[in-house]
Amino acid sequence: QVSELVQFLLVKDQKKIPIKRADMLKNIIREYRDAYSEIVKRADRTLQAVFGLQLVEIDTKRHIYILINNLPRPEGQHLCRDKEKEKMGLLLVILSFIFMKGNSVKDSALWEFLHLLRVYPGKQHSVFGDVRKLVTEEFVRQKYLETTAIPLTDPPEFKYQWGPRAEKETSKKDVLNFVAKMQSKDPTFWASQYSEAEANK
């Protein structure tokens, strides 16, 4: 049973789809429902010991889980477990922007920022393809970004924040160090972000 659950989780995680507890119960555990929490615990232990992945609950109300990479991240390899290095690079830039701007940005501000990087919502990008879809759908679905509607706006505007996967897979400190490196400055240059990053460890 543990091995079946481990494989189920690995397959779901391949697509970075968050896993609902209901799916785990339905698909795998069937006759063993009473032993559910023990099976999940063992599956987590196996994932950590063999794959260096950890099962983390990101929504305790609706019982939703993701697998995060437990392996120490060498310099400059943030969030990169797979070959989608370019997408992760773009994501890191977006997360940095959001953090530096006080943890929340309006969608119009985000797109203005991406304009500077020659990334446009309306245009197919040579590496990222449909960028609007990537940012507003894929990154949100994978829980890297969270988007909420800003009330009383017409036409509706949205704000972007870090999603639970981003919170678990990277840290404000890592992101600030990235920004500092890009701009050849010391992280302490941004006093309020620096103290927030230190407090957040």
Render 5-66 in DSSP notation, one character per residue.
Answer: HHHHHHHHHHTT--EEHHHHIIIIIGGGGGGHHHHHHHHHHHIIIII-EEEEEEETTTTEEE
CB of 39 to other proteins, least distance (A): 14
Q: Which is nearer to other proteins, 77 or 153 (CB)?
A: 77
Q: How far apart are CA 195 and CA 15, in angstroms?
A: 35
Q: How far apart are CA 199 and CA 201, in angstroms?
A: 6
Displacement of CA 197 from its chain's centroid (Å): 17
Q: Which is nearer to other proteins, 88 or 179 (CB)?
A: 88
CB of 126 to other proteins, least distance (A): 16
Q: Which is nearer to other proteins, 70 or 188 (CB)?
A: 70
Please classify residue 158 by burial: count the beta carbons closer than 10 Å to its beta carbon, then call 0-12 exposed, 13-18 middle and 19+ buried: middle
Q: Which is nearer to other proteins, 3 or 153 (CB)?
A: 3
Residues that bind other proteins (CB under 8 A): 3, 6-7, 10-12, 14-15, 46, 49-53, 69-72, 74, 81-83
H-helix or E-strand spanning residue 109 = helix 107-116
CB of 67 to other proteins, least distance (A): 11
Q: Which two tokens stand for residue 84?
A: 């989608």
Backbone angles phi, psi at 10, to 5 degrees: -65, -40
CB of 52 to other proteins, least distance (A): 3
Q: Which is nearer to other proteins, 1 or 104 (CB)?
A: 1
CB of 10 to other proteins, least distance (A): 8
